[in-house]
Amino acid sequence: MIGNKILVIDDQPELRDLLSSFLNSLGYETKTAVNGQDGLFMLEQWPADLVTVDLNMPVLDGHGFIKQAVQRWPDLPIVIVSGIDAVDLAVDALRLGAHDFITKPIESFSLVKNTIDKALESAELVRQNRNYQHNLEIMVEKRTMELEEIKRQLLFSLGKASEYRDNETGRHVIRVGEMCGLIGQEMGMEESAARSLKEAAPLHDIGKIGISDTILLKPGKLTSEEWTLMQGHCQIGCDILRHYSSLQQSNEDLYKQVIKKAQSGEEMALLEMAMAITLCHHEKWEGNGYPIQLSGEDIPLVGRIVAVIDVYDALGSERPYKKAFPEEKCQAIIREGIGNHFDPKVVEAFFDKIEQIKDIRKNWMD
């Protein structure tokens, strides 16, 4: 602790100079103040590592000094140096935040040295512990961010893998994510929620992993039985994601909980939002969609947004069962769906951002 700075506050010049000289002899750098007010001013100019302070002083006494000092410098160790008849006052000062006290007249300077050393060591341990806790929190936060990023990458890859089943490059899921994030912001979603939508939307068709290739890649029209099986990809996707989330209810209860959480307006975790999207992105505004036949605003907003974007991008993409439609026809079909297939407000936001949406399609062409 040698080399530390110590401020000596005492209105008695003899004792002030004596204590300062002794501490200098031990290798400490010292300065002195004649009262508590002077001591506070000195600390502003000269940050000390420890303060010794008398209790009975004019202008601002020791108790007043301690009250203000512990508020401004909570880690500053304060040692009381006061008369033996002031022990009760010293105890009160300890309750205010002082670390220890020395009685005067000083008869043993070895006691002074031990008290000062102990107070400095204690303060250093507190600082080290705080630094350790701070560094630990930083490490935990960094590791948490790394794990979140790994999870995002894995989920994105999972969504992209499902798209490879019926799309040559899998860029459909990238475009859907980018476009949905843009529309989410346009519709007033919080920045964090819009970012989660951007990351969750690519998982909308993850349930296609559970659909047979004979149905998924069939070039012609599906039979009614095949179409029923195809519609099952919504529940399959929700069930797949359930195993990565904290939601472990039975299927029927799970679907109700996912929809209720998405309808509540509460902030949703990434996986919860992805589950709502996979389950609801084929629901229709009029209520004749699938798999649950929700209607209007009972359909979670994230599902309504993905419904518009998924159809729009699918129309402009070549698939085993169709050629890509031109841009004008894609937009016309979206307009035709207002109020029956699509939420009118989502479509309005879509066309407000149509130029940026077209840029996304251009930048992420198959």
Cite the active site residues: 208
**Could you give the C-alpha distances from 129 to 47, 117, 120, 136, 282, in angstroms and in order?**
21, 18, 14, 10, 54
User: Cα(36)–Cα(59) distance, rounded to whole angstroms?
Assistant: 7
β partners of residue 282: none
**Rounded to whole angstroms, how far apart are CA atoms 27 and 33?**
19
- Contact (Cβ atoms closer than 8 angstroms) between residue 177 and residue 198: yes
Angle between helices 62-72 and 87-96 (to 10 degrees): 20
Q: What is the dihedral of CA 241, 246, 252, 256, to 10 degrees?
A: -100
Element (H, E) at 31: strand 29-33
What is the DSSP code (8-state) at residue 326? P
Q: Output DSSP code: residue 338.
A: B
Number of H helices, E strands in the chain: 16, 5
Closest alpha carbon to 4 in 72, 50, 52: 50
Please provide the size of the chain in residues: 366
Alpha carbon distance 282, 10 (integer Å): 80
CB 218 within 8 A of CB 176: no
DSSP secondary structure code for residue 188 in this structure: T
Residues near 259 by Cβ (< 8 Å), separated by ≥ 6?
276, 279, 280, 292, 294, 298, 300
